[in-house]
Amino acid sequence: MSVALARRELGGEGAPPVVVLHGLLGSSRNWQSAGAALAARGPRVVALDLRNHGESPWDDDCSFGAMADDVLAWLDARLPGPVHLVGHSLGGKVAMRLACAHPARVARLTVVDIAPRAYPGRLRVEFEAMRALDLAALRSRKDADADLAGLVPDWALRQFLLTNLGQDAAGAWRWKVNREALERALPELVGDSLPPGAAYAGPARLIRGGRSDYVRDEDLALWSARFPAGDVVTLPESGHNPHFDARSGFLEAVLA
């Protein structure tokens, strides 16, 4: 059963509307700046929170099918015409799944730094660090950063994880993502989101970061097989987050 996704309107009025799907442990909040920059160029831009993320409901089912069905239900209720679907990382996997299963709902597909394949071994450290953090003993976000540093030495990654840390009405610290359900689902979430033979024949673009290892040269044949009308844009100076690392080139690649 689908859940009612939260959305963030980022401006613009033009069609087709751009619908953005964030990555694992992210949210629509991560796309405020890049989304507003896209909207400034004309199209209506809406960023969604996937289930178990941001302000969207939690559910034990974290499968790609369930997440794609959530987005489809939101589109059917809010945007009946075809949309330009943009997905980053996990959101790219969901976007690929939806485009292949429901091509009439997608006018154009943009996948950001993720390939149609499995990623074994990814993301374990992040979840181990979140699980190890003693929320009951936590006094401040600064203390949380210090506690995470042993397992996550990269400052930027720690700050990203800490965007998911909040306090309830009583002041108790809690994760704003459904960490337990997402961690249980990791074997699927690091897998390929597409069933055998799935493909999308419409306009598609893969944007990859030249300094990222998420999309390798050998992955491009997999992309072409699944998305035969698609192309690839490499942003040489970008890592895994082109919407932050190479904003100008990213905007051009999405809207060109």
Cα separation values, 235 from 20, 217, 248, 252, Å: 19, 14, 10, 11
CA dihedral 224, 227, 231, 235 (to 10 degrees): -90
**In the 8-state DSSP scheme, what is residue 166?**
E
Catalytic residue among 89, 193, 212, 238: 89
Catalytic residue among 63, 180, 188, 224: 180
Pairing of strands 14-21, 83-88: parallel
98 in helix, strand or coil?
Answer: helix
- Examine the residue annotation and report whether 183 is marked as an active-site residue of this protein: no
**Residue 53 neighbours by CB under 8 Å, 6+ apart:** 22, 25, 26, 27, 177, 178
- Examine the residue annotation and report whether 89 is marked as an active-site residue of this protein: yes
Q: Does an H or E element contain 111, and which?
A: strand 106-112
- Examine the residue annotation and report whether 13 is marked as an active-site residue of this protein: no
Give yes or no for a contact between 107 and 83, defined as CB atoms under 8 angstroms apart: yes
Which residues form the catalytic set? 89, 180, 240
